[in-house]
Amino acid sequence: RLGLEASSGYGVACKIVNFAMLVPSSLMQSMASFVAQNVGAGDEKRAKHAMFTGMGIGLIIGVVVFILVLFKGNLLTSIFTTEKAVILQGYAYLKGFAIETIVTAILFSMVGYFNGHYQTVWVMVQGLIQTLLVRLPLSYYMSIQPHANLTNIGLAAPIATIVGIILNVCFYIYLSKKMKKENA
């Protein structure tokens, strides 16, 4: 509906998004292994500390990437194309998506923590909720608005991630209480 330039701009923005998500993805994967080792060793305190440390590192890097994407997204998109309209459309998507670079650091550290605790079914369920019940419907809703634009469509990702963080905080509280009960 938005046209070829918007589609091309989105494609260019996705290349930047994939690069921006490398650090949170790496944190999540390493977090799962580190937490699993500490859970196996009976050191839950260290496992929790790792999750919060991962969040902190991710947030610092996420803020830097956020600033770069939000304020220099046009420069980033121009790496992949010289067409002004495509650059503007890619940048428009990045403006909506930018906050995702920060909130993903929190979510992915939690996901790594839960994977390290063998809570893989929960990780799958919360991921499906985020994607199927929040991100996709919201993206579609934003795309059918009378003055639809890629900035608003790009907002669907961080909104879904924030929903995921809320779900994971609730699960973290539940899991912590369950572990306390089992240890008592």
Quick: pLDDT tens for 102-117. 999 999 999 999 999 9
List alpha helices for the chain, DSSP H.
Answer: 4-20, 22-40, 44-77, 84-97, 100-116, 120-128, 136-143, 150-154, 156-183
Residue 32: predicted pLDDT: 94
Which one is predicted more confidently, 103 or 14? Answer: 103
Q: What is the pLDDT of residue 6?
A: 83
Q: Which amino acid is at 172?
A: Y
Longest dimension (CA), the chain: 64
Q: What is the pLDDT of residue 73?
A: 87
Identify the pLDDT of residue 4. 81
Q: How confident is the model at residue 64 (pLDDT cuts 50, 70, 90)?
A: very high
Average pLDDT over residues 44-69: 93
Average pLDDT over residues 147-162: 92
What is the percentage of the chain residues whose pLDDT exceeds 90?
Answer: 67
Quote the mean pLDDT of the chain: 92
Dihedral, 15, 19, 24, 28 alpha carbons, nearest 10: 80
Give Cα 82 distance to the centre of its chain. Answer: 28
The count of other CB atoms within 10 Å of the CB of residue 172 is 18
Asked whether the whole model's pTM tops 0.85, one would answer: yes
Tell me which DSSP letter residue 129 carries: I
pLDDT band at 124 (very low <50, low <70, confident <90, very high): very high
What would the mean pLDDT of 156-175 be, rounded to a whole number?
96
Do 90 and 77 contact (CB within 8 A), yes or no?
A: yes
Half-sphere exposure of residue 128: CA atoms within 13 angstroms, side-chain side: 6
Q: How many residues are present in the chain?
A: 184
Can you tell me the distance from the alpha carbon of 155 to that of 135, in angstroms, rounded to the nearest whole number?
9
pLDDT of residue 182: 86
Statement: residue 59 has pLDDT above 80: yes
